[in-house]
A = this chain, B = another copy of it.
């Protein structure tokens, strides 16, 4: 056990003690998704522990990865197994229980107080925000995915074959605006996956009405299936900006659908510059391997926040370094916590537990090497765990 000898004259603390205090904080996972409700075979399970859309390379298994190892380490004991149980043993134990029980056991162990649940990704097969909150014994809040909202509206209009193109345009624009105004009542923010659909190097200007009308006509005419039109995506972002919403942005690392070199958050610098005084806030999600760049943006722009969710899960034993790197330029009041868990309750538990451990390790080092008083370390931990999100999303409790 390491005893602190910091210059600030605190009584001796130990790293484990700091860890316990941090573990006691009511973590607010500001960006996550529901969990799958049906049982899963090994292939299904493996496909949910990678961002790849391909099966594992022949001769390998998705369990031989940081996330796989952390599931065996942290989740196996929750199902009554030894830490680092073999994958088959783990999956067998998992299958022997009702899915709802597995979901509940693991979600409870994640020890989260609040969830910001994004509902735009395959909502039919996963739990709703309410169900998820219930499983986790946490308050849940909804986050609306902009692209899905636009697709839903366009598909309905396409199905209705309603009138001429001018009317379609007005309808689409009006319905988007209406839906977002309404969303303010029941959701805490919106999310954009512009990174996936068009890249973050999009024109920072608000689209003109003429551009927009042309784009809408084409989008509805082709059925509104998959929104990849940069004009409409910019329109959605500017609608959210005008309403002063909290806007989550997918940034950096994600699945093989993404062109990662077009997901550097710096590409949005000009948009951030133009929106400082609008009331809108931008929450940059994941950010790896551009988390240092995100920290810079969070420093210079008062309405930019970020997290390293997702990366924590997938970097496993290395998550502590990634978390430490996220504590460089950004003001401590601008750093958020999320798991970006999707589908598996394991991803909540692993994401939350690794974050707590990595944050503890970083803050303990700042205490021993840089003389941070333990109270200050705990104050920073509390900001990141919960206070920043509560303030940034304007949640009244």
Contacts and interface: CB of A to CB of B under 8 A. Distances in A.
Contacts of A325: 318, 321
Give the one of A57, A315, A316, A366 with max B CB within 10 A.
A57
A331 B57 contact: yes
Interface in A338-397: 357, 361, 365-366, 369-373, 376, 380, 383, 391
Interface residues of A, number: 79
Contacts of A361: 369
Contact of A261 (B59, B267, B391): B267
Interface string A33-75: 0000000000000000011111111111110111001100100
Identical copies of this chain, number: 3
A314 interface: yes
A105 interface: no
Given A9-B82, A69-B376, A318 B324 contact: yes
A324 B327 contact: no
A376 B329 contact: no
Interface stretch (A21-29, A224-232, A298-306): A298-306
B51 A299 contact: yes
A89 B317 CA distance: 41
Given A318-B328, A331-B60, A259 B270 contact: yes
A390 to B, nearest CB: 10
Nearest to A10: B84
Given A331-B65, A334-B60, A369 B320 contact: yes
Given A289-B292, A329-B253, A332-B64, A317 B82 contact: no
A50 B261 contact: no
Nearest to A371: B73
A73 B377 CA distance: 13
Interface of A: 7-9, 50-62, 64-66, 69-70, 73, 82-84, 253, 255-256, 259-261, 264, 266-267, 269-270, 273, 276, 288-289, 292-293, 296, 299-303, 314-318, 320-322, 324-325, 327-334, 357, 361, 365-366, 369-373, 376, 380, 383, 391
6 contacts: A57-B303, A57-B333, A58-B302, A83-B371, A256-B273, A361-B369
